[in-house]
Amino acid sequence: MGSERYRGHSRGKPDATIRKATLMRVAIAGAGNIGQSIAHAVLSAGHKVLLIERQRPHYRPAQVPDADWMLADACEVDVLEAAGIHTADVVIAATGDDKVNLVFALLCKTEFAVPRVVARVNNPSNQWLFTQQWGVDVAVSTPSTLVAAAEEAVSRGEVVRLMTVHHGEGNIIEVTLPTASHLVGRPLTDLNLPADAALLTITRSGNLLTPAPDLELQADDQLILLVAPQIEDQIRDQLWFSD
């Protein structure tokens, strides 16, 4: 399948509150209503967006004119190479086809080493497939959660809000422990979480670990926590703090 390109409009200088160092390149597979919603949210934060759509009826650059567009199959390696996926900081599989989302996620992670892969799950019975083995870092099943996960992935880098619970009284977040964190190499007892936070589990190399007190934390551990919304920033700063 051939490809067609559209270059987004120049938006001029980003808002002064957005530092250039934080700007990210985000690629979205699927330019339907959900893909467009994600694109608008990411663009509003000052980041660069590429929408890849294979169906001509959904290829509507006028709907998101500030994004770059590509009419092509996101499951083809040649297309992803032409799109410069290796330079993306975050990719989002937002199509209505789980097979497409899985293939796109796997290619982006294994062939192009994209740091963060967020994927939409359309059929709940396929949820078990959307794991790191398939290149998926964050899998979400509802449109609103997918948009939220995309916003978190670009705005906080390695901190992602997975869901809101108890009518907004708490959030389940995923925090990736950076190499420079003072907690790397230390036992879990040194975590010292505040009263409004609880560690649910740890994912390491695709495996779930029980949060035992003597467990030694490692760089790139993914910590899943239940936290009060008002202390999310405190938790992030606590885990990212370096000696």
Most confident residue range from 24-28, 104-108, 146-150, 209-213: 104-108
Least confident of 67-71, 100-104, 143-147: 143-147
pLDDT at residue 10, as a whole number: 43
Is it the case that residue 9 has pLDDT exceeding 80? no
**Cβ atoms of 68 and 41 closer than 8 Å:** no
Q: Are 103 and 75 in contact (CB under 8 A)?
A: yes
Beta-strand ranges (E) seen in the chain are 4-6, 25-29, 48-53, 68-71, 90-93, 116-120, 138-140, 159-165, 170-176, 197-204, 207-209, 222-227
Q: At a CB cut-off of 8 Å and minimum separation 6, what does 72 contact? A: 1, 2, 3, 4, 52, 53, 54, 79, 82, 83
Checking if the pLDDT of 211 tops 80, the result is: yes
Q: What is the mean pLDDT of the chain?
A: 84
- Domains of the chain (ranges, CATH numbers): 4-157 (3.40.50.720), 163-240 (3.30.70.1450)
pLDDT of amino acid 5: 75
